[in-house]
Amino acid sequence: MATPEFWFVLVTVLFVGYFVLEGFDFGVGMLVPVLGRGAAPVSGRGASSEITEKRRRVVLNTIGPVWDGNEVWLITAGGVLFAAFPEWYATLFSGFYLPLLLILVALILRICAIEYRGKIDDPVWRRRCDLGIGIGSWVPAVLWGVAFANIVRGVAVDENKKIVSGLLDLLNPYALLGGATTALLFLFHGAVFVALKTSGDVHRDADALARRLALPATAATGTFALWTQLAHGKTWTWWLVGGAVAVLLAAVVAAHAGREGWAFLGTTVTIAGAVVLLFASLFPAVLPSTLDPAWTLTVENASSSEYTLRVMGWATVIVAPVVLGYQAWTYWVFRRRLSVADIPDSIGLAR
């Protein structure tokens, strides 16, 4: 646990957990306006509005008990990155300051919108909160893909370990495809999750939407994975590309067959495989320099001292099982499906 390679693997695992869990959170947030619309014919304008609101609350309540716990994975990943690889952390967060700031602002907006949506019983207030949830989900879903694609591709790191490229340099075709891939994959992941967690009309509509999202998500993911492999991958990572695409295709088949449990497992494995592919393509570098390979940050020259890594290792052994056990217990307690019938008429304090 005192080697930089171990901590690189742990950072990979933490980002796998974050993108798998927060991925369906983002997907649900992006789909609130679509899945929240009332589909059943209802007499009376007020009744129709009430059904729409209940549907939106059903969609949001699928992630209500878990979304804040899912974000802990990002905080932990950032903390580990700071402690285990301070040079990587400093260079990355200074050079990617604007996109990471936009992600942070979007996450804060999303948190506030989810938490305060039910505090005021007013349709205008709730529409504004829904807008905040949408923006706070779309922005990170796209920008995380852009950021990680640029990390793998490499940026202009100089001899002082500073990124000297501008924002427009980050908006290259490979990075934009990465952003489109994460957004579409999270949309598909979120739709399958809503179908898995709901019953009735919301379940039916989420299931149908997942089938429509399957093709574009598969096309984008396959193209991005192939580009990554051809430009940055290693010989053995072909297995990751083939495995991730095959599992995603299996998820598509499961979604069309109405087997949302297997479909969700497939999208989970696909996202995990995609993240591992990115980090595996990166290793042993952590931030390649496009100016001079000698200025590339690696797991060796960007890591902390052996003593620091050893202390972190013991802290991880003590704390990690508690955190994982608590989160697993949360998912188990809130495992049952939701429907419009479970939502009371009064908005109250529900999310």
- Residues 158-213 have pLDDT tens digits of 888 888 887 788 899 999 999 999 999 999 999 999 999 998 888 999 999 999 99
Left if phi > 0, otherwise alpha if psi is -120 to 50, otherwise beta: which for 38?
beta
pLDDT confidence bin for 348, thresholds 50/70/90: very low
Residue 254 within a domain: yes
Measured distance CA(106)–CA(71) in Å, rounded? 13
Residue 114 within a domain: yes
- pLDDT tens-digit map of 124-143: 898 899 999 999 999 999 99
Residue 313 within a domain: no
Residue 314 within a domain: no
Measured distance CA(178)–CA(30) in Å, rounded? 18
Measured distance CA(146)–CA(99) in Å, rounded? 9
pLDDT confidence bin for 111, thresholds 50/70/90: very high
pLDDT confidence bin for 305, thresholds 50/70/90: confident
Quote the number of domains for the chain.
1
Residue 281 within a domain: yes
CA distances from 183 to 7, 180, 220, 315 (A): 28, 5, 10, 34
Structural domain containing residue 34: 4-305+320-342
Residue 312 within a domain: no
Q: Are 206 and 58 in contact (CB under 8 A)?
A: no
Q: Are 181 and 143 in contact (CB under 8 A)?
A: no
Residue 41 within a domain: yes
Residue 311 within a domain: no
